[in-house]
Amino acid sequence: MSTEQDVVDAARRARTASHALALATRATKDAALRAMADALVEAAPQVLAANADDVRRAEEAGTGAHMIDRLRLDEARIEGMAQGLRDVAGLPDPVGDVVRGSTLANGLEMRQVRVPFGVIGMIYEARPNVTADAAGICLKSGNAVLLRGSSSAKSSNTAIVEVLRAAVSSAGLPADGVQLVPGDSHDSVKHLMRARGLVDVLIPRGGAGLIRSVVEESTVPVIETGTGNCHVYVDAGADFEKALAIVMNSKTHRTSVCNSAESLLVHSAIADEFLPTVIEALQEAGVEIHGDERFGEYDGITPVDDDAYAAEFLSMEISAKVVADIDEAIAHIREFSTQHTDAIVTEDQSAARRFVAEVDSAAVLVNASTRFTDGGEFGFGAEIGISTQKLHARGPMGLQEMTSTKYVVTGDGHIR
């Protein structure tokens, strides 16, 4: 059991640590990241033993094979975590970046400079590799982090954090920059969400239910991540070959991720020609199609309803609709999209231009798979999640999005 006081105490230690982290040079932070990577590889036997405990408990609890796969670590996954930390060490330091600057009319020198947030709270589910990723990204961006993984991964996370803390400390930075939130009851999450003033920002990563509850209950500012009801709209002006490749890749390349497509819209002018091809390809790949009446003219289509249009299936299912024109496509996306990623396939410049202007999503794609909305693909080098809110950060978040700014104004006795 964790009391509110335990969580507040941890947050206070994090805040104190954040002062040193904010001032740490890039060289020191990179040395710490490399030490963290080496320590993880060296401690692989202990981490794997702790992970085996979690897996055994999950199996005893009858957890599904898919969840257990997410939970399970092996040598390769640990090496992957270590490589992730080394990659972050290789990225530029966002802290101190001058975002803008000028000399004002009165001679005051004004600069807007990137600074760390201070203390970041991460609430996430299942996969223990997020523990190392988040610790690395937060440390590089000069922030202390309070990690609240799922209780199913508690032994793994405890072992990983212990290793990382020792490495951080060995590099001359405060170990309390990386902490697990004490306790594993839901109460500890609650206390974290109320630690306004001690925690600067909360980032929930996980299912829609987790994210909704954090958004509703938190008094700490939240960056909402990732539910993705992503659309592919095949316009009248589409090249069918590209369209088919993009639909199939967006839906079937990896179904369990937030940037996979969940909904297919087809312009009525090409429906006769395109529907048979796309339906056959989807069904051959094992995708269940929840289709409207027009799709229903073909075999094997499940009737669609608004719930299916709104669903984030995260599986081999897709909702599908024939739209009269691009207006109806945009209206449908406005109604059902989670504003994560929506794509148009078209060779028609003015259709592409309209879609890009009128679809208000974190990423709007033209003639490309929805799977490209990703920090790695965007070249950020590291990603802590994909923001689906409009405040602060929108879309894939890398190191830069883990910072705030401050204005530094220098004068020589200036008064108004």
Site for a copy of itself in 87-106 (CB under 8 A): 102, 104-105
Angle 67-7-128 (CA atoms, 0-180°, nearest 5)?
25
3-state secondary structure of 8: helix
Residue closer to a copy of itself by CB (options 117, 124) is: 117
Nearest to 151 by CA among 119, 189, 203: 189
Q: How far is CA 93 from CA 31, 159, 187, in A?
A: 13, 28, 35
CB atoms within 10 A of CB 385: 25
User: Contact between 408 and a copy of itself (CB under 8 A)?
Assistant: yes
User: Contact between 411 and a copy of itself (CB under 8 A)?
Assistant: yes
Which tokens hold the place of 298?
């073909």
In whole angstroms, the minimum distance from the beta carbon of 206 to a copy of itself comes to 18
CA pair distance 214, 41, nearest whole angstrom: 34
Straight-line distance from the first to the last Cα atom of the chain, in angstroms, rounded to the nearest whole number: 55
User: Contact between 324 and a copy of itself (CB under 8 A)?
Assistant: no
Residue closer to a copy of itself by CB (options 185, 410) is: 410
In whole angstroms, the minimum distance from the beta carbon of 392 to a copy of itself comes to 4
Question: Which of the residues 238 through 257 are near a copy of itself (CB under 8 A)?
Answer: 239, 241-242, 245-246, 248-250, 253
Judged by CB under 8 A, the residue of 187, 288, 325, 358 near a copy of itself is 358
Which tokens hold the place of 279?
């339906």
Question: Which of the residues 197 through 226 are near a copy of itself (CB under 8 A)?
Answer: 200-201, 215-216, 219, 221-223
Question: Which of the residues 95 through 154 are near a copy of itself (CB under 8 A)?
Answer: 102, 104-105, 108, 110, 112, 115, 117-118
In whole angstroms, the minimum distance from the beta carbon of 57 to a copy of itself comes to 35
Question: Which of the residues 284 through 323 are near a copy of itself (CB under 8 A)?
Answer: none
User: Contact between 196 and a copy of itself (CB under 8 A)?
Assistant: yes
Residue closer to a copy of itself by CB (options 14, 40) is: 14
User: Contact between 66 and a copy of itself (CB under 8 A)?
Assistant: no
Cβ 116 vs Cβ 21: under 8 Å: yes
Instruction: Tell me the backbone φ, ψ of residue 265, rounded to 5 degrees.
Output: -115, 135
Nearest to 156 by CA among 138, 130, 135, 137: 130
Look at the block and give the residue holding tokens 């269940």.
Answer: 288
Nearest to 206 by CA among 313, 125, 312: 125
In whole angstroms, the minimum distance from the beta carbon of 372 to a copy of itself comes to 6
Question: Which of the residues 3 through 32 are near a copy of itself (CB under 8 A)?
Answer: 19, 22-23
In whole angstroms, the minimum distance from the beta carbon of 374 to a copy of itself comes to 9
Cβ 166 vs Cβ 175: under 8 Å: yes
In whole angstroms, the minimum distance from the beta carbon of 407 to a copy of itself comes to 4
User: Contact between 407 and a copy of itself (CB under 8 A)?
Assistant: yes
Residue closer to a copy of itself by CB (options 107, 303) is: 107
In whole angstroms, the minimum distance from the beta carbon of 389 to a copy of itself comes to 6
Residue closer to a copy of itself by CB (options 120, 279) is: 120
User: Contact between 62 and a copy of itself (CB under 8 A)?
Assistant: no
Binding-site string for a copy of itself from residue 363 to residue 382, where x marks contact by CB under 8 A and - marks none: xxxxxxx-xxx---xxx---
Nearest to 235 by CA among 353, 336, 371, 373: 353
- Contacts of residues 183-187 at CB distance under 8 Å and 24 or more positions apart, as own/partner, are 183/1, 183/2, 183/3, 183/6, 183/7, 184/2, 184/151, 184/154, 185/1, 185/2, 187/1, 187/2, 187/4
User: Contact between 186 and a copy of itself (CB under 8 A)?
Assistant: no
Residue closer to a copy of itself by CB (options 49, 408) is: 408
In whole angstroms, the minimum distance from the beta carbon of 179 to a copy of itself comes to 20
